[in-house]
Amino acid sequence: MSQTPDPFTHHPELRDRITSSENSFFRHLNVDDLLRQYPELEPFRSWMHSDETREAIRAQAMARHTGDLWVFAYGSLMWDPALRFQEVRRVHAAGYARRLILKDDKGGRGTQEAPGLMAALDAGPHCEGLAFRISEQDVAAETEILFRRELIGPGYVPKFIPVTSGETVIQAITFLADHDSPDMLPDIDRSEQVHLIATGGGILGTSHDYLFKIVQQLAHLGIEDPDCAALLQDVEDYRSRNQIEVAAP
């Protein structure tokens, strides 16, 4: 696809709804700096990928890629990609579903005392989201930032999948649920899922706020995700019944 001078040509409504790369916390995310700023996370250092491990995963994932890169976003990347991108488009991924099944008890949106949940892309009927295009000359630098953010530790598997924008098929890299990770809970029951999202919170905010932002961003795009919308309603009902107000630590 040809370059467009304005990244928001196809979606001007997103211009004020996506955090600029310069203002993103994730653009400069670094394990050593993170642990200095939040020493309470030091016990999880051994869980975090080393730079060497992460770079090996990135090299393998990107080995056959050439040209501009598309990144498929289905969770927080939809409003805060931390990437310098040339174009953003709404896309459809057949055969996958957005599921809140990744347990976070490492301090991001949950703690050991109050774990939370985040989204993963798992097998399912379909998933609507956004695709960001990165220019070829920026791919190396931007994927280093992307992998540092998405693979701070185990949980996801990077993979190129086909997504469609209108009649156009795009091969986009995304991060799938790693069922070999003990933090991935594909069989979590609804009551536990609701409880974790309702009560989890960490340095990035609450799990409830995370789910709320997903539903909000999708709604702004005119995308219906009945599963996420119903889950959010269940979480808010649970919080109301139990008078739960979760503030990030």
Q: Which residues contact 60 (CB under 8 A, 6 or more apart)?
A: none
d(CA 211, CA 75): 9
- Cβ contact 204:101 at 8 Å: no
Q: Annotated catalytic residue: which of 13, 136, 150, 245?
A: 150
Number of residues assigned to the chain: 249
Cα atoms found within 13 Å of the Cα of residue 65, Cβ hemisphere only: 25
Q: Is 150 designated active site? A: yes
- Cβ pair 88, 17 in contact under 8 A: no
**Degrees, nearest 5: CA angle 214-68-10:** 50
Catalytic machinery residues? 150
